[in-house]
Structures are given as structure tokens and as C-alpha cells.
Chain A
């Protein structure tokens, strides 16, 4: 299929991009890496009047330290998660997740801001925002604001960023030496959307888990924190008993939807298996 005809506008500043969107009655789409949008256009699932190209907005680029935060510009490509030293040092969970994101050609174009803004519940990075307790910076008509990841993902493809607003940067609390991460997913083929995936970041002290954030993807309409499982392993050493308790707790954390290929009970089972394996690994390094 071929996309329906559309106009194209290249924006050089955030304000220019926002104005262009508003002046087209919001019948517009921002385009960055285009790895989800371009197929949707080609399939005519989306047919906006205009595409606003944000790839040339300088302030959306770059990874910098800002005090206790790591600021990752929205245009940072997935492949940069693998190569940028600041990410390896201060947001290693993103680095751990990046090899699982699609294939190299897609990682070369796809952007972190685009992935988070789309909020595909089967994608790795939106869920990692939850595990990292990241904040998403949004630019809109009323200026800039930062929204905690916990409040950002609202429903299927629906986020705290309203139509016409632009995700400009991700702020990640900088990784500390007493923190540990773990990431894995169960995908039929390398690079596919996972049947279930999970990333976690724990704060440890003397082998005990002081706090932990566990985030799942491919388990429902939104990336999902497993809060009961988090509670089950917090405050103690990770042992078989706590792992079993966390696995059991997933019943109340996750409610996978019906799907023709993976029944909800199977997805929940896989989530428990994956959680058990990840906690086991975490226990070895805590």
C-alpha cells in the first residue's frame, strides 16, 4: 500500500513544531524516527494532513548530566542507548534493554522520545521508564512540564501528553553504585515483540533489597509496574521463598487480555517464570 498524500514541514524549534501542529487543526503528526508512524501511513491506518519533521530541532538532541538527573533528548536514537557512555554509566537499564528493541536498522532510526510518546505496551523502553522512575518532559501550548512515568501512561496508546504536545526529553534519576538492574524478555524470535518482558532496578544494602521497581511490558494495555511483587521482595534478601511470593503476587499485578495466540493464563505463567529468573539473577548480584 501507498500512503495518502500529505504535506511536510520541517521544524527547527520546539515552538515552531507546536505552532505548525496547532495551525493544522491538530490534523498533524510529529515525525522523528518514523519507525512506527511510517508503516502506519503506508498502511493508511493514519492519514494526517501534514507531517511535522522534528529531526532538526537541536534542543531535542543529546545526552547530558543535570545534577542528580540524566537528561536524554527525545531524538536520542535507540542505537545510542548501546553506544553513549553516559547511558551506560547513569542509566544502564536502558542499555540492557536496547539490544532487545527490534533490529539494528530500526534502532538506527527509532528514537527514545518517539517510543515513549507512542507508549506501545509491547515496547521495551516505555516500561523501562517505570522501572527507572523516570520523568517525561512535555512541551505544550502552556509551556514545559515534567510528568512522572507512573502518571504518564494512561491507556492503550494514550499518555499524559495531549495531542499536539511534544515529548522533548526523558529525565532519569542517575544510577548509583548500590543499585542493580536486570532485564529480559521472552520473544519467539530475536527482535520480535515479546510475549512478555520485564526490567527491574533495585536499591540494595548489605545484600538486602531496600527498594525495587519492577516493570512489565506486553502484559496489557499499558506498561505495567508489578507493585505487589515489588512489595514481596522489598526489605529482605532475595531467596526462594520471596521469589515464590513475588511470583504469586503477580496475579494481582497483571491482568493480561485475551489474545488469539497467547491465552491470559499462559501470559501470566510466562510472566511468573520470567520474574523468577530475573529475581534469581538479581539475588546473585544484590
Chain B
């Protein structure tokens, strides 16, 4: 028999794999997504989209569309500009950053192919689309800036004629000593990398129902978003409605990945359309619209140099990252965070002193890029890890050996990266060792070498990473964004002795509600099924940051933990009065107040609730039972809780077709305290799959005139189950000391390193051919080109 552990205590849910309470409901088709919402008198919006990447709107004729039966409104940019104030996607802490003001619909110029130009509101979506066909717009084409490098060249036409150049933002980092390090280096590795633009592709597309009640001056927005409070603030300020009269409800959400926290022109327009009409208006982006209007991400060209000594120790890195973000910077989080994180995360796992980086963020006539799962991490990781492998190859070191030599030692914490990131405690060495074991690395190498004799080309790749989680106000707040880094929870004991927890973190399918109920049940001493968690409604839960940047468990979880402890103290205070004991002598187990020392049951908490709510007359005079408590928690201490891990993969490359088969993938991850191992594993697996999509399949391909060429699910390839390998996961737990819970984030770890890992593995497989690939996605065309096969 295995010995008992702390998990065998009653109500010990922290660290336990329990199913998500909402999983059955969703599987049974009882989810209620925004698309499912039908309000009385609801109308439907559709948008006419620009066929050109850059053009002046010369003339618009909407008369025939307005006359069509069933059409209630055809709105232009000017109509909405009268009621909506413009927004600008800049933040103060990105010094010198510029971006043009934006409106829901353009006044006179379109800046990407697919941009919404006009809105039609009708009795049904089909009628609205009929009306779109009756609109005629005369465009005067302007030069379209499509290519990232072309956008940066002097003399290139400007994406925004009012601006002085196509540069949105520039940044420099320099720790000093870089030139000296390169001058004294035994070897210098140089490489250029390119990363394909891709897009998140959530199962549920963007969807919104805006419902403005002119009589009450009340706006209710049912919104497929991960950040309801952020949108409450934005709708209030841009439509000048008092914040308390704006309610944003995020019902069931079918995936988000960062996609659903940006301001989209259509969404802002739909709110305005509802205000203009005084009726509910619905818009659901169809898949074709999603491809040309959802944010894209990861369009980067990176030049990197690495200096190493004769033993393979990294001395310095010098990098230049150019990234193109579309015609505007996204609001309110901007489009420069990705590049900023790329240059700050490069080299982060390794112990070296001299680092220099330059970032150039440029405009182009494409849809906006912005934060998508693992913002910047996959770029930084791919560059770093490929450079490390090239360095290893240069001096004949094994990929594990060079990493063992260079990672920050586990006993060196606290420490900081050369880019200024402060690390509380990471575990690179132990993760490296653990990966070697779960991969059975030596056996894989033996198999690889044996198969090579038979013309079968397999490759092994590994990639170390750090991940940014639990962001403090240093992330957005300092830049002036009204984006909260704290969360709030209101927790109550019901008269029947159950517990409700309304909390500001949100659920998009990852299991936020499950882990919050685990933490509350664990801390209070209840069965999990007696805890109800409520999220996603600004009218119901306290204000908070919600879910992004891997903060749900670390910040939301700590909020719930502290709130539950407060409520427990209040319950025990009443129990002590009833039982004539000291509160400290009592505890709660399985919903019963017990003698803390003997665990002898004394009184059900349901009985405490009954007395407090219905027979307060039996309590001592002056007693006021507080069985509802609220608690807010903002991270303090380290600005971010960094996590770390390492991934490995095994691939087979068909050297004749360029096809790559993913054989197996391995992850060792350290996210601190694990609340629900099953959910953590599935977060990691899902993240890995998105990273593998980036590695092999996903790329938004554009033609010379700025048309998206593969904007459908038939042409834009997302990773599918058939092509995915088994993913083996192991954990190391290094809790953060900044919170009582000790949890850090895990949602982006999988995505952070998966593409880097595949890039290294494919290059390992191609090593006998002296071929090298430094671009993702690694398509058959790129492999065959590298091999000179056609």
C-alpha cells in the first residue's frame, strides 16, 4: 500500500486531479455561448469589408441597401464617429511609440484588406448580407505596404500618410560589454530567422450582443471575451455611459488564447449600432471574417549573434528583431508587447552577462497583430535554442551538455537576466536532468544512428524556456492602461451551509472555475460540490484583471484562498460563540465544525448558517455574523512570477517529400504549486499543440497586393489530432514564496518552446545533409528547398 499523503486529508483539493464541474454540461451541449443568445427585438449586424489593402474611400452609395425590406440601419464611419470617441493603441511606458487614432469604422481610408467599412443592421444576418450586396463603394487604390522589410526601407510609401515613417516603436537594450565579449570569443555564431504570421483560431469565433436600453441609459453587452471589466471600462468611456450603467457578461467562452481581449472595430461598432437603434444587436464573426479581422501574431525577422568561449560557455548575445504589426497598434494593450518580450526573453534561461538587443516595430497594410498565447516566447525561445544548438554543433558538444554548461544553476537564485528580468527561483538543472530521463535520451540517439544507416532520418530536439506569469502592474498599469493586475472575490456561506464564490477571473474552457472551487473547498473544509463559483459578469463579481498572461491560478487562486480563509475565520467565530469555545480550538472538516485537536464533530456549518441568518436572536448581544466577505489581492514582491521548463521532441523527416512526422513530444514544466494536475497537463498539451501548429503548419500567407491568400480553414492549416504525437509530461514544483498558495502560471509553457524544439529536431535530422532551416513554419517546401530537391 502506498503511504498516505497530505492529499488523503479530507477536502484536500490542492494538488488533486478532479474533473471540471462544468465539463459535463458543455459536453452535453448545454453550454450557453454568445451565439446562443436570442434577445427580444434583437437585430443582426453584418459588415461590408474592404477588398483593398490600402485605398481611399471616394464615394459610398447605400440607398438601395437602406431601401431593402428588413434593413433597419446602414451605418457609416461618420455615423458612429458622432457617438464614439476615438482610441489610440499606445502605452506610456513604451517611450516614443506612435499609432493613429482609430474609430469603429473608417471615415475615408481603409488600411487592410478585410477591414470593416460599413455596417448593416437587419432582421436577420441573411438579410443584412443581402443588403451588403446592394452597397457600392468607389475606392481609389493607394500603395499597399505588405512586406516587413519593404516597410522599413527609406522612401517606402507610408501606411499612415500623417505619420513621419512606418516605424511604430523602437527599443534598445544593452547590458554593456557586448563588443568586448565578441572580440574575445573563441567562436561566433550568426543566424537569421523568420517567423510566419499566424492567428489564434478559437473554436468559438468572436461574438457580441450589445443591448442598449435608452430609457434606463443602461448598456448590457454579452461578449465572448476573457476580460469583461476591461470592456466595461472601454464601453463606458468611449460611449460616455457611466461605468455603473455598463454591464458586460461573458457567458461560456469557446477558447480565447489572447484573441478575445483586444478591441475589435466590429465589436465597438455593434455597441454603437445598438445605441443608435435602441435595440439589441448581434454580431458573430464567421470564419472568413475571423481570418481577416481577428488579431494575427508573430510576424518577426530576427538577426542574432552569439559569442561562446572554447568550452562552449555563452559569453554574449546581440540580436535585432524587426516585427510588423499591421496598420494600427492594437488597443488597449498595444501591438509592441510581443516584440518587447522577444528581446527581453532571448537568452533568459542562460547564465551570461553581456546582451544587446534592438527592436523595430513597423506598420504595414495588414490586419493588426497583438498578444496571442505565449506572447513573444516562441520567437525568443526558437532564436535562443537554435543558436545554442548551432553553438553546440560548432564545438562538437551534445545539446544536453551545452545546456547543462550554460543554464542558470538551480542554487544561484534569486538572480536576474541580463535584460533585467528578476528570477525568484527556477529549476533548469533539475528539469534538464528529468527530461533526459523521460526521453530515454541515450536510447533515442542510438536508435537515430541505427536508422540513419537505413536511410531513415530522425531528429531529436530540445528547448529550454522561461515563462512570464502572474504579472503585476508593471505589465500594463504603469503604462496608463486601465487594466487591473489585481483580482477580487466575494464569498458567502449560504443559509443551507453551501458556499458561493463570485470571482473576477474568468473561464474560457481551461478550468478556472474548477481550480477556484478546489481552492475554496480546500481552505474552508468542504466537499467541492458544495462550492459554486460564479465568473464573467461585471454586475456580480468584484472588479479584477480576469484571465490573461497566466494569472488565473496564481493571482485569482490566491484571491480565492485569502477570501476563503477570511470566511472560515468568520464562521469559526460564530461557531465559537455557539459552542462556547475559543475559535482557535475549532476547525472545519467536510462541512462540520470539529474540535481542532481531536477532529470530533461538533456542529454542521449549515447549523451555523441557520442560526446566523434566521435565529440571530439566540447569539450573544452585539454579535453581527459576517458570512459574506470580499477580498482583493494584487501581486506584490516580484513583478512577475517566472516559471521554467524544457521540452524535447522526436521527429522523422522524409527527405524525398519534405514531410515531417512528429513521433513523440516531451515536457518537463515547473509552474510552482500545482492545483489540479490533470488540468495542468491538459493546459501544457494544448499549448504544445498550438506550438506544433506554428512549427509545421500555420502561416497567414499574403499576396503582393496585401490579400490574405489562405483565409479559410481549408487553406490555413491548424494542427489536427491525426498529426499530433503523444505528449509525455513531467513536473518539478518550485512554489513562489510571494503568495500563500505558491502557484504560478502554466497556460503558455507548452506554446513557448514547442516550435523551437521541432526546429531543432528537424535540423538535427537534416544534419547529415548539411542542410539548415531557420524559419517556421517548417513546410515541405522549405525542407525540400533546404535539401536542394527541386
Chain A contact residues, CB within 8 Å of chain B = 1-5, 43-44, 186, 188-193, 195, 260-263, 265-266, 268-270, 273
Contact = CB atoms under 8 A, between A and B. Distances in A.
Given A190-B720, A260-B703, A261-B781, A269 B789 contact: yes
Contact of B781 (A43, A186, A262, A268): A262
A2 B125 contact: yes
A189 B717 contact: yes
A192 B717 contact: yes
A1 B129 contact: yes
Contact of A260 (B286, B656, B701): B701
B133 to A, nearest CB: 8
B697 A268 contact: no
Contacts of A1: 129, 286, 288
A268 B717 CA distance: 22
Contact of B780 (A4, A188, A193, A265): A188
B607 interface: no
Nearest to A4: B130
Interface in B111-169: 124-126, 129-130, 133
Interface string B702-731: 010000011000100100101100000000
A150 to B, nearest CB: 29
A266 B790 contact: yes
Contacts of A43: 288
26 contacts: A2-B125, A2-B126, A3-B126, A4-B126, A4-B130, A5-B126, A43-B288, A188-B697, A188-B717, A188-B780, A189-B697, A189-B722, A189-B723, A192-B714, A260-B701, A260-B709, A260-B710, A261-B701, A261-B710, A261-B781, A262-B781, A263-B781, A263-B790, A266-B781, A269-B790, A270-B657
A33 to B, nearest CB: 17
A44 B129 CA distance: 10
A3 B124 CA distance: 12
B352 interface: no
Contacts of B784: 266, 269
Contacts of A263: 781, 790
A47 B397 CA distance: 63
B94 interface: no
Given A188-B780, A189-B717, A260-B703, A265 B723 contact: no
Nearest to B660: A188
Contacts of A193: 714
B780 A195 contact: yes
Contacts of A190: 720, 722-723
A43 B723 CA distance: 29
Ranked nearest first, the 8 interchain pairs of A and B with the lowest CB-CB distance are A2-B126, A190-B722, A269-B790, A265-B790, A273-B656, A266-B790, A2-B125, A260-B709
B239 interface: no
B659 interface: yes
A263 B781 CA distance: 8
B657 A186 contact: yes
Contacts, number: 61
B651 to A, nearest CB: 15
Given A2-B126, A190-B720, A270-B657, 8 more contacts: A1-B288, A186-B657, A189-B697, A189-B722, A189-B723, A192-B717, A260-B710, A268-B790
A44 B125 CA distance: 13
Nearest to A276: B656
A275 B125 CA distance: 48
B280 to A, nearest CB: 19
A190 B717 CA distance: 11
B657 A273 contact: yes
A4 B133 CA distance: 10
B269 to A, nearest CB: 18
A260 B701 CA distance: 8
Contacts of B288: 1, 43
Contacts of A265: 790
Contacts of A186: 657, 659, 780
A261 B700 CA distance: 11
Contact of A189 (B125, B656, B720): B720
Contacts of A273: 656-657
Interface string B685-705: 000000000000100010100
A260 B708 CA distance: 11
B471 to A, nearest CB: 35
A191 B722 CA distance: 9
Nearest to B697: A188
Contacts of B130: 4-5
A263 B785 CA distance: 11
Interface string B753-790: 00000000000000000000000000111001000011
A215 B706 CA distance: 36
Nearest to A196: B657
A186 B783 CA distance: 15
Contacts of B126: 2-5
A178 to B, nearest CB: 31
A263 B701 CA distance: 14
A40 to B, nearest CB: 12
Given A186-B659, A189-B697, A2 B789 contact: no
A137 B82 CA distance: 63
Contacts of B781: 261-263, 266
Nearest to B656: A273
A191 B697 CA distance: 15
A107 B209 CA distance: 36
Interface in B265-318: 286, 288
A266 B659 CA distance: 13
A261 B129 CA distance: 31
Contacts of B714: 192-193
Contacts of A260: 701, 703, 709-710
B690 to A, nearest CB: 15
Contacts of A192: 714, 717
A57 B9 CA distance: 67
B205 to A, nearest CB: 12
A260 B707 CA distance: 12
A57 B304 CA distance: 66
A270 B779 CA distance: 14
Contacts of B703: 260
A101 to B, nearest CB: 14
A263 B658 CA distance: 14
Interface string B635-661: 000000000000000000000110100
A44 B131 CA distance: 13
A186 B701 CA distance: 21
B624 to A, nearest CB: 58
Contacts of B657: 186, 270, 273
Contacts of A195: 780
B46 to A, nearest CB: 8
Nearest to A270: B657
A261 B716 CA distance: 11
A266 B722 CA distance: 25
Contact of B129 (A2, A268, A269): A2
Contacts of B133: 44
Nearest to A274: B657
Interface in B548-599: none
Contacts of A270: 657, 780
A186 B658 CA distance: 10
A269 B126 CA distance: 45
A3 B286 CA distance: 13
Contacts of B709: 260
Nearest to A42: B286
A220 to B, nearest CB: 17
A268 B697 CA distance: 21
Nearest to A266: B790
Nearest to B703: A260
